[in-house]
């Protein structure tokens, strides 16, 4: 038995070299320091005269007792630095300033090197290596930041979002360096009477709204990895499997292809669970005649995809499932056709909702269009990028990446014919707005009934 398991593992490793062969010892396709420097420069250009931007790294989050969650960086901080360590602070000035004897317009405070800590959790850049690796000239350790480091009162306003980031939470067991620095900033702002600019959020939305070619490349990689995961699930799923086994196949495929994390908790809902929008338990045993809704996507180097496919567990849609699926697909295709430069962000949703409402009326499931939210209760689109629900504006422009994800969810007990019960369908694709129209970044995973049923006949490496 042990030999057969070892052979299976060896076989999988040998067959899954498409990504590994392209890599050096470590991935070499991260965003460059020049990209992040360009984002800092773009922010500085939009700042009002005589102002300062204050951006903190994310907190280390405790999971239970002495176990922390795997660290995930604050996305705005990452956008400006590419730095993935905690206990850090970035200052961006409109005009050059002198701090600790160093004149420039940007300063970074980081955690110091610590051989004992590095023995347990890995290398720390420290103030010695960070300038070279991050392209930020003036880097200090966080112990050098105190009430005398910066005079807040000399500025007209401060750009920051730290008030919303829980850095100053009072329930911490130990006050960490990040909270200490935030406390210093908070005390200086309070004492000086300077206001935090209420345009900080809008400024960040404006910057992150349209993606650069470098960012689009990252998103496309995350989407490609996600699509391969969905295709693997289509080939592997069969009656008698559990939802968590489908999740395991999906996440195995993500990790195998270089994804650091799923972009969000994987949703794998069968039967009535397919009608729960953010179902994450994934414990049910799946049976023939049911649908499996998989809303799962990979994150790659900080950027995430967001892809959903709905498939029949036994490989064949029932007549009722096919009718609902093709109605959702019609809504998705109609919404995608609306995605182009200059249109309001909500227009694809309005089109999708109208298609679904008219289709449900025709099927006798609802009586008029005002009832559509009963079975399609969410929006069709959101921005996509560093966050799965990314920051952006309310107009579609070139470089915007958005989701198109209409759905119909008819749980058991709904006020309609029982033949429609337990049918939950969502189809979600990631759409890039281009100069001439749009591109479906996620079309590598089947979307039509015929394509899905054909894919599900394919041989799975997990058979």
The CB-based long-range contact list for 454-460 (8 Å cut-off, 24+ gap) reads 455/231, 455/234, 455/235, 456/234, 456/235, 456/237, 456/311, 456/312, 456/315, 457/315, 458/234, 458/235, 459/235, 460/232, 460/235, 460/236
Give Cβ neighbours of residue 45 (< 8 Å, ≥ 6 apart): none
| Catalytic-labelled residue, pool 137, 166, 278, 417 | 278
| Catalytic-labelled residue, pool 44, 205, 378, 461 | 378
| Catalytic-labelled residue, pool 128, 156, 389, 443 | 389
Q: Return d(Cα 135, Cα 146) in angstroms, integer.
A: 24
Annotated active-site residue 428? The verdict is yes
- To which residue do tokens 């939470």 refer? 169
Annotated active-site residue 232? The verdict is no
Annotated active-site residue 306? The verdict is yes
Give Cβ neighbours of residue 111 (< 8 Å, ≥ 6 apart): 85, 86, 87, 88, 124, 126, 141, 142, 177
Annotated active-site residue 66? The verdict is yes
Residue (of 277, 260, 229, 266) closest to 244 by Cα position: 266
Q: Which residues of 147-186 are buried (b: 16+ CB within 10 A; e: fewer)?
A: eebbebeebebbbbbbeebebeeeeeeeebbbbbbbebbb
| Catalytic-labelled residue, pool 208, 409, 429, 430 | 409
Give Cβ neighbours of residue 238 (< 8 Å, ≥ 6 apart): 313, 314, 315
Asked whether 145 and 109 are in contact (CB, 8 A), the reply is yes
What tokens were used for 203? 């400024």
Residue 404, sorted as left (phi over 0), alpha (psi -120 to 50) or beta, turns out to be beta
Looking at 83-168, which runs of residues are DSSP E strands? 89-99, 102-110, 139-141, 157-160
Annotated active-site residue 378? The verdict is yes
Asked whether 449 and 325 are in contact (CB, 8 A), the reply is yes
Give Cβ neighbours of residue 270 (< 8 Å, ≥ 6 apart): 243, 284, 286, 287, 290, 291, 292, 293, 313
| Catalytic-labelled residue, pool 39, 40, 284, 426 | 426
Q: In the sheet that 261-262 helps form, which strands lie side by side, from edge to edge?
A: 261-262, 298-300, 303-304
| Catalytic-labelled residue, pool 84, 306, 429, 430 | 306
| Catalytic-labelled residue, pool 340, 382, 447, 461 | 382
| Catalytic-labelled residue, pool 106, 405, 429, 430 | 405
What tokens were used for 109? 């405070």
Annotated active-site residue 409? The verdict is yes
Asked whether 288 and 259 are in contact (CB, 8 A), the reply is no
Asked whether 408 and 425 are in contact (CB, 8 A), the reply is yes
Annotated active-site residue 84? The verdict is no
Annotated active-site residue 156? The verdict is no
Annotated active-site residue 382? The verdict is yes
457 SS3 class: coil
Q: Catalytic residue positions?
A: 66, 278, 295, 306, 378, 382, 389, 405, 409, 426, 428
């Amino acid at each position: 038995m042990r030999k057969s398991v070892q052979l299976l593992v060896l076989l999988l490793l040998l067959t899954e070299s498409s990504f590994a062969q392209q890599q050096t010892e470590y991935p070499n396709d991260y965003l460059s320091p020049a990209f992040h420097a360009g984002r800092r420069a773009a922010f500085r250009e939009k700042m009002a005269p005589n102002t300062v931007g204050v951006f903190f790294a994310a907190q280390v989050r405790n999971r239970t007792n002495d176990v922390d969650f795997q660290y995930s960086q604050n996305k705005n901080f990452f956008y400006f630095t590419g730095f993935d360590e905690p206990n850090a602070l970035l200052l961006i000035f409109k005009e050059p300033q002198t701090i600790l004897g160093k004149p420039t317009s940007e300063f970074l405070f980081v955690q110091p090197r610590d051989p004992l800590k590095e023995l347990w959790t890995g290398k720390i850049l420290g103030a010695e290596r960070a300038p070279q690796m991050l392209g930020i000239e003036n880097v200090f350790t966080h112990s050098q930041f105190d009430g005398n480091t910066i005079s807040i009162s000399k500025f007209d306003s401060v750009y920051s979002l730290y008030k919303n980031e829980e850095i100053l939470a009072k329930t911490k067991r130990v006050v960490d360096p990040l909270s200490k620095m935030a406390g210093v900033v908070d005390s200086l702002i309070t004492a000086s009477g300077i206001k935090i600019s209420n345009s900080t959020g809008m400024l960040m939305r404006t910057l992150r709204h349209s993606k650069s070619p470098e960012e689009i490349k990252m998103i496309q990689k995350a989407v490609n990895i996600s699509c391969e995961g969905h295709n693997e699930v289509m080939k592997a799923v069969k009656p008698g499997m559990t939802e968590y086994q489908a999740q395991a196949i999906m996440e195995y495929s993500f990790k195998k292809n270089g994804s650091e994390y799923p972009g969000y908790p994987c949703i794998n809902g069968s039967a009535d669970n397919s009608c729960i929008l953010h179902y994450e338990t994934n414990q049910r045993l799946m049976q023939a005649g049911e649908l499996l809704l998989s809303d799962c996507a990979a994150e790659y180097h900080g950027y995430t995809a967001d892809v959903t496919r709905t498939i029949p567990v036994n490989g064949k849609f029932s007549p009722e499932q096919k009718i609902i699926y093709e109605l959702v697909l019609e809504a998705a295709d109609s919404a995608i056709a609306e995605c182009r430069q200059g249109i309001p962000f909500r227009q694809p949703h309005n089109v999708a909702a109208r298609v679904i409402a008219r289709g449900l009326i025709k099927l006798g499931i609802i009586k008029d269009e005002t009832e559509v939210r009963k079975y399609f209760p969410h929006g069709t689109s959101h921005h996509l990028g560093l966050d799965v629900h990314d920051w952006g504006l309310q107009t579609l422009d070139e470089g915007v990446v958005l989701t198109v994800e209409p759905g119909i969810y008819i749980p058991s007990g709904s006020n309609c014919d029982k033949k429609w019960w337990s049918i939950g369908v969502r189809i979600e694709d990631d759409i890039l707005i281009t100069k001439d129209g749009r591109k479906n970044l996620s079309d590598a995973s089947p979307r039509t009934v015929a394509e899905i049923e054909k894919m599900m006949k394919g041989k799975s490496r997990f058979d």
